[in-house]
Amino acid sequence: MAGEMADDARSIFSRAALSLPPPHVSLDLLSSGVCVRCIFRLFGVHGDFYSCPFLTGPELHYFLKLQNGCQAGISENGHSSFGLHQCSEESDFNQKYCSICLGILQFPQDLYLGEGTSKDNFSIDVFVEKIAESIKIANHQIDGFFLEVSIPPVIVANERSIWSYMKKKYDSEAWFKNKALYNQISLKDALRLSITESLENKLSVKSGANSFHICLAYTNSEASLSLQNSLRKVQSSNRRRTEKENVVKVVDQCGNGQLDSREQLCSKSDAAILKELSSLDDHTFCDLFELPPKKASNSCKLMITCYRMPVFIGGRYLKFSRKVSQTLWIIDDERMGEASVEEIVGTPALEICRGDSYKFHAAGREDIDVRMLGSGRPFLVEVSNARFLPSMVDVVQMAVKINNSEKKYVMVRNLEVVGSEAWNLMRVGEAEKQKQYAALVWISRPLTDEDLQSISSVDNMEISQSTPIRVLHRRSPLERKRIIHWMKIEKIVGSSQFFLLHLCTQAGTYIKEFVHGDLGRTFPSIGSLLACRVEILQLDVTDVKMDVFI
């Protein structure tokens, strides 16, 4: 069985190799230190052979010799013998680290195990095993994965260097015109083609658009420093025309160790370096870089991490205490209130998801002394890097835990795990949504029937509100137009100066200020409508009209 699989792999390898340019071109690249997978991807050769274990320099060299009509050994079963012992020039075509990908597509174990490992330890299986170990250590539950790859900009420079080399040498040959640069397969895609199937088998899940990301971050500080030094020559040359003295001074300081040039150069972002590379014309690039790129003496180093995109748990909350803030509120290192909705809801969500941290988002907010009643206020808890994906049963248990807490500060309803689209649903129409309130109000004179009529006749009344005095210290002084949709007064038995005010307003209305007028900063107000002093004693939100988590 193993022999048949090996024969199948060699057959796939052979068919793919037939798609390459004339043998002398591939032999030239092999002798320049380019690995087999880079040769295939540079020439846009597609297929499932990237994971083939026989993609080595000596194997391709031997096949090209056969294709070029050289003498070749044939095994007893009629198949070509691709063994390494067949290649007398093995060392010339078995460069340890590729001059383009710097070992990324060769999977040397010292990529992640450090220096001192055997030269022959090249294995996709060992590489995949290392990734699986990282996931296990992080204790992630996974139902799929997405491979996220980052590579140093020097790889892009190496690719351009090899194409510039081939253009100079082979531009007149017919094959070159048919193997344009834009047909090439990216290193990232080639890496995914090489390991995805093995990783799927190892993890027993499929790859694709998944919230769980496996991050393969490659770096090569020595090669990157060399690249940035080369780019710095262009910058120095450009500045020298107008700032020659300053440039000489900087270069002299670097040479004398007065400036840490390595720290300076490595501080540039990859995006900035790539932008500089793309801005170079072909002539300048060829003057700066070796064609082909020099053979690599060390590989990239790899950091394997994994994380999950945020998990969102949404629902509605009700707040029954006037001593509980919506979010954690601390002034001068002192907590304001006894608790917060954020903590009461977010902490259980973090626990069941086993995440790193959480953020609490709500559709609007109420003051600490305002209760949230009715159907509740829509909210989302965003859990970062969750190790566990909660089921509906888990979410129900979370709700039971919150609702049965001893102090009964907060209750939740309609909890569910939702996608990131729920965030947009909460934001859409937030400014236009309607909110209903019930306020306990005192007026400085007895309430009359005319007062009742005046208040109940309000229909979509526009008011103007300047930023309230109580929040001017933290909000910009603006004037806002808001709509009072309707109001009605509920009398309190036995009292002529206290009543309940029920009203429906546009979101963003300052209700307290609408009642007492805020020294004229809100107009009209209940005070101006009743032509007397009015104070609000208590306030409750009774409904948040939004079509989410209902």
Distance CA 361, CA 348 (A): 15
What is the predicted pLDDT for the residue at 383? 97
CA 38 from chain center: how many Å? 28
pLDDT at 411: 98
Write down the H helix ranges in 18-150: 23-31, 36-42, 57-67, 110-113, 124-138
Q: How do strand 339-340 and strand 324-325 relate by DSSP bridges?
A: parallel
| C-alpha separations of 271 from 34, 89, 288, 289, 443 in Å | 25, 40, 20, 20, 64
Q: Which residue matches tokens 């000596």?
A: 58
**CA 459 – CA 463 distance, rounded (Å):** 12
**Residues 513/525, Cβ–Cβ less than 8 Å:** yes
At 333 the pLDDT is 86
Residue from 431, 437, 433, 434 nearest 503 by CA: 437
Query: Cis peptide before 348, with omega less than 30 degrees from 0?
Result: no
Spell out the residues 6+ positions from residue 192 whose beta carbon is closer than 8 angstroms to its own. Answer: 147, 149, 207
Separation CA 188–CA 129 (nearest Å): 19
Alpha carbon distances (Å) from 460 to 441, 483, 488: 21, 6, 13
Bridging pattern class, strands 370-384 and 311-319: antiparallel
48 secondary structure, DSSP code: G
Alpha-carbon gap, residue 282 to 285, rounded angstroms: 5
Rounded to whole angstroms, the Cα distance separating 58 from 89 reads: 8
Got the DSSP string for 86-113?
G-TTGGGG--SS-TTTTTTTT-BTHHHH
Domains by residue range for the chain, with CATH: 99-234+270-306 (no CATH), 310-432 (3.30.70.2510), 435-543 (3.30.70.3190)
Q: Which residues pair with 264 in a beta bridge?
A: none
Whether 367 is catalytic = yes
Neighbours of 210 (CB within 10 A): 17
Q: How many CB atoms lie within 10 A of CB 88?
A: 9
Cβ pair 228, 310 in contact under 8 A? no
Would you state the pLDDT for residue 88?
A: 41
Token pair recorded at residue 401? 């835990």
Please give the structure tokens belonging to residue 493.
Answer: 């038995």
Specify the pLDDT at position 264. Answer: 40
Distance separating alpha carbons of residues 115 and 484, to the nearest angstrom: 72
- Residue 439 has a CB neighbour count (10 Å cut-off) of 21
State the catalytic residue, choosing from 8, 143, 367, 547.
367
Per-residue model confidence (pLDDT) at position 68: 65
Nearest 5°: phi and psi at 42? Answer: -60, -30
Instruction: Going residue by residue through the chain, which has 550 residues, state the pLDDT in tens, using 9 for 90 and above.
Output: 445 545 566 777 777 778 888 888 988 999 999 999 999 999 988 888 898 876 777 778 777 777 666 433 333 333 343 333 334 444 455 678 999 999 999 988 766 554 444 444 568 989 999 999 999 998 999 999 999 999 999 999 999 999 999 999 998 888 887 666 567 899 999 999 999 999 999 999 999 988 999 999 999 999 999 998 888 887 766 665 545 444 344 344 434 433 333 334 444 688 999 999 999 999 999 998 999 999 988 899 999 999 999 999 999 999 999 999 999 988 888 898 999 999 999 999 999 999 999 999 999 999 999 999 999 999 999 999 999 999 999 999 999 999 999 999 999 999 999 988 888 878 776 666 899 999 999 999 999 999 999 999 999 999 999 999 998 988 888 999 999 999 999 999 999 999 999 999 999 999 999 999 999 999 999 999 999 999 999 999 999 998 888 8
